[in-house]
Chain A
Amino acid sequence: DGGITQSPKYLFRKEGQNVTLSCEQNLNHDAMYWYRQDPGQGLRLIYYSQIVNDFQKGDIAEGYSVSREKKESFPLTVTSAQKNPTAFYLCASSVKPSSGANVLTFGAGSRLTVL
C-alpha cells in the first residue's frame, strides 16, 4: 500500500543534542512538508519542498534543517538551536494538482521529547 512512513514514532533527546526524524513516501508525490503540532496550537509549517534538491522555509524554520536528495525522502533535523523542541512532528506529501486545491497526505507522526 502507498503511504508515508515516519520514524521513529517516539524519540527522547537530551538537551544540546541534534536529532533527525525520517520521512519516506512511496506515493510518487513531488512535494513534501514538515509540520510541528503543539497542544491547542494547530499545525505550523516548518519546511517544505516541491522538488528534489530544493526546499523553502515555513513559518517556524529556526532551529531546524532539512534535505531533499531523493524524491521519496525528506528528513528533518532538530538542532540544539531549537529552544523548545518537545512536540509532535508530522510529515506530509502532495502531488501537484492539475486543477483545484493542494490535498496533503500525512504520516502517523513522530513524538519528540527533550529530557
Chain B
Amino acid sequence: AQSVTQLDSHVSVSEGTPVLLRCNYSSSYSPSLFWYVQHPNKGLQLLLKYTSAATLVKGINGFEAEFKKSETSFHLTKPSAHMSDAAEYFCVVSAPSGYSTLTFGKGTMLLVSP
C-alpha cells in the first residue's frame, strides 16, 4: 500500500524568494517518487523523479527535491521563484520498478507575487 500527503494546499511567495513545497509519503516498499507540475487547463509535466539513486534530485527549471527516508519526505525546493512558476504541483509515489499505478497527492497551488 502507498499514500502521499501534500502538507499545504496553497503556498504564496514573492518573486525572487525561495520556494518550499512539502510532501510526505507512506509505502510498504522502497518507492519511486515524482513531482509533476500543471499549469491551468493543461496536462501534467514531469519536474523530477527519485528512483533509489542519489537522494538529492535535480529537475527542470531550477527545481530540486531531497529524498529523506527517515522522515518519509520528498520536499520540492527552488532557490528563487519566478512568475512563470505559478502553477499546481503534485507529489506522486509508485512502486520502484515496472508497470505500476501511481498515487497522486491532492496538489499544492503555488502563487507567485511580483
Contact = CB atoms under 8 A, between A and B. Distances in A.
A99 B52 CA distance: 11
A48 B101 contact: yes
Interface stretch (A13-21, A69-77, A103-111): A103-111
Nearest to B109: A40
Contacts of B104: 42-44
Contacts of A96: 98-99
Contacts of B43: 4, 90, 106-109
Given A42-B107, A111-B41, A102 B100 contact: yes
Contacts of A2: none
Interface size class of A (residues with CB under 8 A): 20 to 34
A86 to B, nearest CB: 15
B20 to A, nearest CB: 20
Given A31-B99, A42-B90, A101 B41 contact: no
Contact of B44 (A44, A100, A106): A106
Contacts of A42: 90, 104-107
A94 interface: yes
